[in-house]
Amino acid sequence: MSLDPTEPSDLPTVDVLRLRPLEGRRLWLRFSDGREGTFDLAPLFEKGGSMIEPLRDAAFFARAFVEMGAPTWPNGFDLDPINLYLQLHAEGQLTTADAA
Protein backbone atom coordinates (compact mmCIF):
# COMPACT_ATOMS: atom_id res chain seq x y z
CA MET A 1 0.00 0.00 0.00
CA SER A 2 1.35 3.40 -0.94
CA LEU A 3 0.10 6.34 1.08
CA ASP A 4 0.80 9.96 0.22
CA PRO A 5 -0.66 12.12 3.03
CA THR A 6 -0.49 15.16 0.75
CA GLU A 7 -3.16 13.59 -1.45
CA PRO A 8 -6.56 13.64 0.29
CA SER A 9 -7.72 10.57 -1.62
CA ASP A 10 -4.77 8.60 -0.21
CA LEU A 11 -5.71 9.16 3.43
CA PRO A 12 -7.15 6.00 4.90
CA THR A 13 -10.51 6.12 6.59
CA VAL A 14 -9.85 3.92 9.58
CA ASP A 15 -10.94 3.68 13.18
CA VAL A 16 -9.41 1.83 16.08
CA LEU A 17 -11.66 -1.12 16.91
CA ARG A 18 -9.68 -2.60 19.80
CA LEU A 19 -6.74 -1.64 21.94
CA ARG A 20 -4.65 -3.10 24.70
CA PRO A 21 -2.35 -1.03 26.91
CA LEU A 22 1.12 -2.56 27.14
CA GLU A 23 4.11 -2.00 29.39
CA GLY A 24 6.37 0.87 28.49
CA ARG A 25 3.45 3.17 27.68
CA ARG A 26 2.68 1.41 24.41
CA LEU A 27 -0.68 0.56 22.88
CA TRP A 28 -1.54 -2.45 20.77
CA LEU A 29 -4.14 -1.29 18.24
CA ARG A 30 -6.43 -3.09 15.80
CA PHE A 31 -7.83 -0.93 13.02
CA SER A 32 -11.07 -1.23 11.09
CA ASP A 33 -9.23 -2.43 7.94
CA GLY A 34 -7.95 -5.53 9.78
CA ARG A 35 -4.42 -4.27 10.33
CA GLU A 36 -2.80 -3.98 13.72
CA GLY A 37 0.32 -2.62 15.32
CA THR A 38 1.92 -1.36 18.50
CA PHE A 39 2.25 2.38 19.01
CA ASP A 40 4.88 3.79 21.38
CA LEU A 41 3.72 6.91 23.19
CA ALA A 42 7.23 7.74 24.49
CA PRO A 43 7.57 10.83 22.24
CA LEU A 44 4.35 12.25 23.71
CA PHE A 45 5.64 11.70 27.23
CA GLU A 46 8.83 13.57 26.32
CA LYS A 47 6.77 16.58 25.19
CA GLY A 48 4.63 16.46 28.32
CA GLY A 49 1.62 18.65 28.94
CA SER A 50 -1.35 18.76 31.25
CA MET A 51 -3.28 16.08 29.35
CA ILE A 52 -0.30 13.72 29.21
CA GLU A 53 0.70 13.98 32.87
CA PRO A 54 -2.07 11.67 34.20
CA LEU A 55 -0.98 8.99 31.71
CA ARG A 56 2.38 8.73 33.50
CA ASP A 57 0.55 6.74 36.20
CA ALA A 58 0.53 3.14 34.93
CA ALA A 59 -2.91 2.44 36.42
CA PHE A 60 -4.38 5.49 34.67
CA PHE A 61 -2.64 4.63 31.38
CA ALA A 62 -4.18 1.15 31.58
CA ARG A 63 -7.67 2.71 31.64
CA ALA A 64 -7.47 3.48 27.89
CA PHE A 65 -10.60 2.68 25.91
CA VAL A 66 -11.96 3.21 22.39
CA GLU A 67 -14.44 6.03 21.92
CA MET A 68 -15.72 6.91 18.47
CA GLY A 69 -12.83 5.00 16.88
CA ALA A 70 -10.08 6.76 18.87
CA PRO A 71 -7.92 5.62 21.80
CA THR A 72 -9.15 7.73 24.73
CA TRP A 73 -8.47 8.14 28.45
CA PRO A 74 -10.83 9.22 31.25
CA ASN A 75 -9.34 12.75 31.31
CA GLY A 76 -10.52 13.30 27.72
CA PHE A 77 -7.12 12.86 26.06
CA ASP A 78 -7.41 10.99 22.78
CA LEU A 79 -5.31 10.05 19.78
CA ASP A 80 -6.32 10.50 16.14
CA PRO A 81 -6.71 7.04 14.59
CA ILE A 82 -5.72 8.18 11.09
CA ASN A 83 -2.48 9.73 12.33
CA LEU A 84 -1.73 6.60 14.36
CA TYR A 85 -2.33 4.46 11.27
CA LEU A 86 -0.14 6.65 9.06
CA GLN A 87 2.71 6.66 11.59
CA LEU A 88 2.59 2.91 12.06
CA HIS A 89 2.42 2.42 8.29
CA ALA A 90 5.40 4.73 7.69
CA GLU A 91 7.42 2.80 10.30
CA GLY A 92 6.49 -0.55 8.76
CA GLN A 93 4.73 -1.53 12.00
CA LEU A 94 1.33 -2.56 10.61
CA THR A 95 0.54 -6.21 10.14
CA THR A 96 -2.59 -8.03 9.01
CA ALA A 97 -4.58 -9.43 11.91
CA ASP A 98 -4.67 -13.22 12.06
CA ALA A 99 -7.94 -14.69 10.91
CA ALA A 100 -9.98 -15.85 13.86
Q: Is the pTM of this model over 0.85?
A: no
Q: Digits of tens for pLDDT over the chain (100 positions)?
A: 555 555 555 778 999 999 999 999 999 999 999 999 999 999 988 888 999 999 999 999 999 999 999 999 999 999 999 999 999 999 999 999 774 4
- Report CA 89 to chain centroid distance, whole Å: 12
Rounded distance, CA 74 to CA 10, Å?
32
How many folded domains does the chain comprise? 1
Supply the range of the domain harboring residue 27: 13-95
- Domain with 60 in it: what CATH number? 3.30.2020.10
Q: Tell me if 6 is assigned to some domain.
A: no
Q: Can you give the pLDDT at residue 45?
A: 87
The DSSP code sequence of 26-84 is: EEEEEETTSEEEEEE-HHHHHH--TTTGGGGSHHHHTT-EEETTEEE-TTS-B--HHHH
Question: Does residue 64 lie in a domain region?
Answer: yes
Whether the Cβ atoms of residue 87 and residue 39 lie closer than 8 Å to each other: yes
